[in-house]
Structure 1
Amino acid sequence: MTTRLVRTLTAAALVLGAAACSSSGGDPLASGSGSAAAKDSGAKTVVVGSANFPENVLLASIYSQALKAKGVKVEEKFNIGSREVLYGQLQSGSLTVLPEYNGALLGYLDPKATAAGSEQVNAALKEKLPAGLAILDSAAAEDKDSLTVSQDTADRLGLKTIADLSAKAGELAIGGPPEFKSRREQQFKDTYGLTFKEWKPTGDTTANALKDGTIQVGNVFTTDPRIVQLKLVPLADPKNLFSAQNVTPLVNKAGVDATASAALNAVSAKLDTAGLTALMKRVAVDKEDPSAVAKDWLKTNGLG
C-alpha cells in the first residue's frame, strides 16, 4: 500500500489540469448524450466517481462515456481522493460507480485476506461487501506489482515467467522501492526459490534503471507507461505471488439497472493490461485529456 500511495501522490499532480476537463461540463460526449437524457428526465442519475490519480480518472471517464452511450444519465465526480473517502461515499449513495482494483479493495475490507487469483479474490470480495454494494465483471486489465526485465534481458536469458528466473537470479540485481526487499525477499525464496545477487532501492526510477542496466530485474506496476515507452517485459506470475488487481466496477446496487450494468460489463470484457498501459502513456506521458483518450478507446472497441 505504501508504494501505491507514493505513486498516487506523485501521479496526482499530473491529473490536476486533466481532472478539470473531465467534469461533465468538459465531456466531449455531453452534448451527444443530452438528447437521450432528455427523453427520460425522470431516470436515475448514475454518479461516477474516481480516486485522485490519472489512471483512475481515465477509467472513470471510460465508464461514464460508456454509460452515456447507452442513454444513461450520468454525473461525474472525478479526482475525489483515497479509497477511505470514496468507499464511504459509495455506501451512502453519494456515488454510484467506482473503478476499483479487486485485490486492493479486498485488502482494504480484510487485511488478513489470502486470496490471490482473480476468481478467488472476487469470491472473497462478494462475501465481504455489505448488502448495498456489489462488484460487476472484472476486466483482464490489472494494475499490479510485477517483476519486469528489459527486452534484451528477456531475450538473452529466455525469460517469460518469474519461474524462469530460478536458475539466473543469483547473477542478477533487483530493484524497487525501499521497502520492497523487506516485504518480498522471503516470498520470492518460498514461492519461486529465488535468491538475487543484489537488492537496490531504485524507487520511481526502477523502469529507467532496467533500461540503462543498473538493475536486471525490477518491481514495476503493470500499467506504468514506461513499460511501453522503454520496451520492458513484465514476467508472468503463474503462482500468483502478487495478488490479482483487476480493474473492477464497484457499484451501489440501488443506483444501477440492467442497462448500466451491461454497459460497464462490456467495458470490462474489452479492457486488458496492454491496452490500459497504452492509454496511460497517452495520459501520463503525452499529456492528452483523459476524456478524449477514453472516447477514442470506446469508439475503437464499438462501445461509444
Structure 2
Amino acid sequence: MKKILSFAVIITLMLSLLSACSSEEDTSASASDKTLVVGAKNFTEQFVLSKILAIYLKENGFEVEEKNNMASQVVRQALENKQVDLYWEYTGTSLVNYNKLDPLSDSLEAYEKVKEVDKDNGLVWLDQSQLNNTYTLMMREEKAKELGIETISDLAAYLNDGNKLSLGADAEFATRPDGIKGVEKEYGFKFGSSNIKKMDVGLFYQALRDGQVDVATGFSTDSRIKAFNLINLEDDKSFFPAYNAGITVHEKSLEKYPELEELLKPLAEKINTETMTELNYQVDIEEKSETEVARKWLTDNGLIEE
C-alpha cells in the first residue's frame, strides 16, 4: 500500500512539473509573439520616423521587423493587406492620393476626416503630430528680415505696395489652382508672370540660396531650409493643405495589441515640423545614420534610456 501511495505522489509531482514547464513555455512564446512589422516610404523623413518608431517599440518589449524604402502606394497597400502592421502616414496624402477626396487645409478637420474614411479601409489613425510636411513659400532669412516679411500676408502687402520679387516654382505648381495661382487669389496679390521663374522640382532651394530668385516654393521640413539659411513664410490664412504625420495601424494589429494606442502617444506629442527639419538635416547634411539620429531624439526626449 505504501508503495502504491509513493508511486501516486511521484506521478503527481511529475505532472505538476510538466504543467509548470508548459506554463513557462506558453509565457515565453507569448512574449516572443509580440512582433510588429513597421513600414516606411522611400525618403529621408520616413526613414527617420520609422526608425524612431522601431527603436521605441523594441525598447518597450516588441520584436520589430522593418520594411523600408517603399513607394507611397506600395506601403499603403502593404498596410491594407496587413503585410505591415503600422507606419507613419500624412493626412493629406491619404485624403487626396488614396481616398480621392479634396484636400483640407485645417489640420484637425483633415485628421478627423481621414480617421473616418480610413476606418472603412480597416485602418486606424492614432494621434496626429504637429509635423506638417506641406507646401511652403520660402525666403532667405537675411532678405526676409531686411524686408520685414514673416508671413505670406506680409509678402502680399510688400508686393501690393508696388515692390517686385521673383519666384522660383515648377511649371505645374506655378499654374495649379491649389498652387501659386491659389495663393495669389487667397492673399490678394500677384507676382506677375514675368517675375515667375519656372524650374525643375528641387532646384528652388539652391536658386534661392544663390540669389537667383527672391521667393521659392518648397516643402516645409526639407533639410535644405536649415542648411541654406532659408525660412518658411507662415501660411497665416492656412491656404496650403494639411499634411500632418500620424501613425496608421491595421485594425487587427491594434486589436491584438490595444496598448499601442497609449504607448505611441508620446511620439505624436513630441514631434513637430521644426524638429523634423532638424532631424532631416542631421541625416542629409551632417550624414549621420537614421539609427543614430532616431535614438538620440528618443533619449533626449526621455522616451528611452541611454
- Aligned match of 2:140: 150
- Cα–Cα, structure 1 residues 180 and 131, in superposed 2: closer, same or farther, change >3 Å? closer
Paired amino acid for 1:278: E
Counterpart Cα distance in 1 of 2:151 and 2:96: 25
Aligned to 1:201: 198
- Residue 111 (structure 1) aligned to one of 88, 92, 100: 100
Q: Give yes or no for contact 2:32–2:63 (8 Å, CA) kept in 1.
A: no
Cα deviation, residue 131, structure 1: 5.0
Q: Alignment partner for residue 236 of structure 2, among 235, 238, 243?
A: 238
- 1:97-122 residue CA offsets vs partner (Å, 9 max, x unmatched): 11111111111233342421110101
CA contact (8 A) 1:44 1:255 kept: no
Question: What are the ranges of 5 or more consecutive residues in structure 1 without an aligned counterpart?
Answer: 1-36
- CA positional deviation for 1:57: 1.3
1:189 to 2:184 alignment:
yes
How many angstroms apart in 2 are the aligned matches of 1:99 and 1:46? Answer: 14
Give, in whole Å, the separation in 1 of the partners of 2:78 and 2:99: 19
TM-align CA RMSD: 1.8
Secondary structure of 2:36's aligned partner: strand
Separation of aligned partners in 2, 1:135 and 1:123 = 9
* Residues 237-276 of structure 1 mapped to structure 2, 5 A cutoff: 237-256=235-254, 257-276=257-276
SS at match of 1:247: strand
The partner residue of 2:130 within 126, 137, 140 is: 140
Quick one: percent identity of the two aligned structures?
A: 30
Q: CA deviation at 1:40?
A: 4.4
Q: State the TM-score, normalized to the length of structure 2.
A: 0.82
Q: CA deviation at 1:238?
A: 2.0
Q: In structure 2, what is the equivalent of residue 96 of structure 1?
A: 85
What is residue 5 of structure 2 aligned with on the other side? none
Q: Name the SS for the 1:146 alignment partner.
A: strand
Q: Is the Cα contact below 8 Å between 1:147 and 1:235 reproduced in 2?
A: yes
The answer as to whether partners of 1:188 and 1:195 remain within 8 angstroms in 2 is no
Say if 2:65 is the partner of 1:75: yes
Which residue in 2 is equivalent to 1:177?
A: 170
1:227 matched to 2:236? The reply is no
Contact kept, 8 Å, 1:189 with 1:195, in 2: the verdict is: yes
Deviations 1:58-108 (A, max 9, x none): 1111111111122122211111x2222112211121111111111111112
Measured after TM superposition, the shift of residue 127 of structure 1 is 2.2
Unaligned runs of 5+ in 2: 1-26
Residue by residue, what CA displacement relative to the aligned partner does 1:7-55 show, whole Å, maximum 9, x if unpaired? Answer: xxxxxxxxxxxxxxxxxxxxxxxxxxxxxx9684353311101112221
| DSSP 3-state at the match of 1:240 | coil
Larger Rg: 2
Q: In structure 2, how many angstroms separate the alpha carbons of the residues matched to 1:299 and 1:248?
A: 21
| 2:33 is the alignment partner of 1:43 | yes
Q: What is residue 211 of structure 1 aligned with on the other side?
A: 209
Question: Shift of the alpha carbon at 1:300?
Answer: 0.5
Provide the residue aligned with 1:161 in structure 2.
151
> Which SS does the other structure have where 1:214 is aligned?
coil
* Cα offsets for 1:233-278 (capped at 9, x unmatched): 1011122211111111111121132332223221110011111111
Distance in 2 of aligned mates of 1:302 and 1:295: 11
Q: Is the 8 A contact 1:142 1:247 kept in 2?
A: yes
